Amino acid sequence: MYIFAGLNDSLIAKCKKIGMTSYEIEKYAKYYRQKKKVSRLGRRANTDSEISKVYESEFSFIRKAKIKKFKDIKQADQRLKQITSSKLWEQLTGGKKCRLELNTRLTSYGGMSFPGGKIELSKCGLDEYTLIHELAHQTRNSMHHGVQFRINLLKLVSRFMGTEMAKLLKGEFKKRKLKLSIPEPRSPESWYKSYQHMEMVREWL
């Protein structure tokens, strides 16, 4: 039995209208799910494929930007509470609760974010941008450094650090050809045309 997971009723209806069989609709549904996943997360399988370019962009941004430093973890936690009580946070996460801790043993990174809302900052990561970067990982579909993460990060930076800061960071992403919008999967008509062509080629071989 085919269930066409990932396709809404409208897409299923379009598939049937152009004469696709249930088997072909299931093939399209598989393509659609995979395309959505890769486009959103910017990765294949379990590889965080764009992390290096994101970090390069951020290092350049940090060198140019004036970023607020926190005097201690308590001040950072106050800022976290301000951000997570905002309307934007509600839109990005549905009001997800986060907790912040200082990790004095963390030396390789400024911060780390964990599923479930836990965020750790190192002593060198007690600044507003590092906090916002880790909070961006707590937004939907953003545990890796793909397109959705970058979109949400820029929204948070714009809202809480200012539009000029967001513009500067966006420019660094663009320099490294990192996408900032999520491409939509091909329409049933476009996909089916290619599928039929490939099937015809296979018959000739």
Say what the pLDDT of residue 199 is.
86
Q: Are residues 157 and 99 in the same domain?
A: yes
Q: Are residues 141 and 77 in the same domain?
A: yes
Residue 37 belongs to some domain of the structure: yes
What dihedral angle (degrees, nearest 10) is formed by the CA atoms of 93, 54, 30, 9?
A: 40
Q: Are residues 32 and 98 in the same domain?
A: no
Q: Are residues 98 and 144 in the same domain?
A: yes
Instruction: Give a three-class secondary structure readout of the chain.
Output: CCCCCCCCHHHHHHHHHCCCCHHHHHHHHHHHHHHHHHHHHCCECCECCCHHHHHHHHHHHHHHCCCCECCCHHHHHHHHHHHHCCHHHHHHHCCCCCEEEECCCCCCCCEEECCCCEEEECHHHCEHHHHHHHHHCCCCCCCCCCHHHHHHHHHHHHHHCCHHHHHHHHHHHHHCCCCCCCCCCCCHHHHHHHHHHHHHHHHHC
CATH number at 152 reads 3.30.2010
Say what the pLDDT of residue 45 is.
40
Domain containing 25 equals: 9-43+182-204
Q: Are residues 188 and 120 in the same domain?
A: no
Residue 3 belongs to some domain of the structure: no
Q: Are residues 14 and 107 in the same domain?
A: no
- The residues, ordered by sequence, that sit 6+ positions from 135 with a Cβ below 8 Å of its Cβ are 80, 83, 84, 98, 113, 119, 156
Q: Are residues 63 and 161 in the same domain?
A: yes
Say what the pLDDT of residue 39 is.
57
Instruction: Return the bridge partners of 102, or none.
Output: 121
Q: Are residues 110 and 188 in the same domain?
A: no
Residue 33 belongs to some domain of the structure: yes
Q: Are residues 134 and 99 in the same domain?
A: yes
Q: Are residues 156 and 56 in the same domain?
A: yes
Q: Are residues 83 and 35 in the same domain?
A: no
Q: Are residues 93 and 158 in the same domain?
A: yes
Residue 1 belongs to some domain of the structure: no
What is the pLDDT tens value at each position of the chain, 205 positions in all?
Answer: 788 888 999 999 999 999 999 999 999 999 998 887 765 555 544 556 789 999 999 999 999 999 999 999 999 999 999 999 999 999 999 999 999 999 999 988 999 999 999 999 999 999 999 999 999 999 998 989 989 999 999 999 999 999 999 999 999 999 999 999 887 889 999 999 999 999 888 877 6
Residue 65 belongs to some domain of the structure: yes
Q: How many domains does the chain have?
A: 2
